[in-house]
Homo-oligomer: A and B are copies of this chain.
């Protein structure tokens, strides 16, 4: 705790003092462009890994980056999604799973969770479509490989769930909303993005048109880096 309290003072002394204009502006309201849904895992820091500034990402975090279908529960996920789309007019949603996810490991040993961690057990009900799909089609995999498949498919399951929300369905209807499936690889620090064309996850820059990739490739990263503000 002492360490965190020191951190607060450091933040105030350094980051805050060099970004006072940003904080002044943020105190008048937020206008995030992206709803970022990811796991509670401590190894994930959405702002750090996307180098997004304060004010850019509206964030939902829970164990397993799970979204119960509309009407299935009165939890925070639905309300926060509704607020993001309806009140903040966000037009991009990223559902971001990650390698080594503890919740997804739980999906592989669901029965033992029933008495050990009953709330986790019940929560994983909303990833049951993932479990069933993997049982039906990937039962010849096991261990790490199976876990990777579960993680990858679960992001897509949750996007199916997302589509049942009235605000989501209405925005998708006219193409006013985009939903992306991402997976964060802790060991490489890389994000892979889902590509529906070949049902695979790829580096997201490969999804941009060539001109924009080039543009990206030659950007000297240091300059835009959040970590060394001019």
Q: Give chain B nearest CB distance to A200 CB in angstroms.
A: 14
A213's closest neighbor in chain B, by CB? B5
Q: Which one of B13, B80, B132, B219 lies within 8 Å of A167 (CB-CB)? A: B132
Q: Is A197 engaged at the interface, CB distance under 8 Å to the other chain?
A: no
Q: Is A72 engaged at the interface, CB distance under 8 Å to the other chain?
A: yes
User: Do A40 and B24 touch (CB < 8 A)?
Assistant: no
Complex alpha-carbon distance, A135 and B3, angstroms? 33
Q: Is A1 engaged at the interface, CB distance under 8 Å to the other chain?
A: yes
User: Do B132 and A9 touch (CB < 8 A)?
Assistant: no
User: Do B8 and A50 touch (CB < 8 A)?
Assistant: yes
Determine how many copies of this chain the complex contains.
6
Complex alpha-carbon distance, A54 and B111, angstroms? 31
Sample (22) of A-B pairs whose CB atoms are under 8 Å apart: A1-B178, A4-B34, A7-B52, A11-B51, A14-B222, A15-B189, A30-B102, A43-B55, A62-B76, A64-B76, A69-B164, A78-B119, A79-B103, A79-B119, A83-B102, A86-B116, A86-B117, A87-B102, A87-B120, A111-B115, A161-B164, A227-B228
Q: Which residues of A contact B (CB under 8 A)?
A: 1-16, 23-24, 26-27, 29-30, 32, 34, 40-45, 47-52, 54-64, 66, 68-84, 86-87, 92, 94, 99-100, 102-103, 111, 115-120, 122-126, 128-129, 131-133, 135-137, 157, 160-161, 163-167, 169-170, 173-174, 178, 180, 186-191, 204-205, 208, 212, 216, 219, 221-222, 224-229
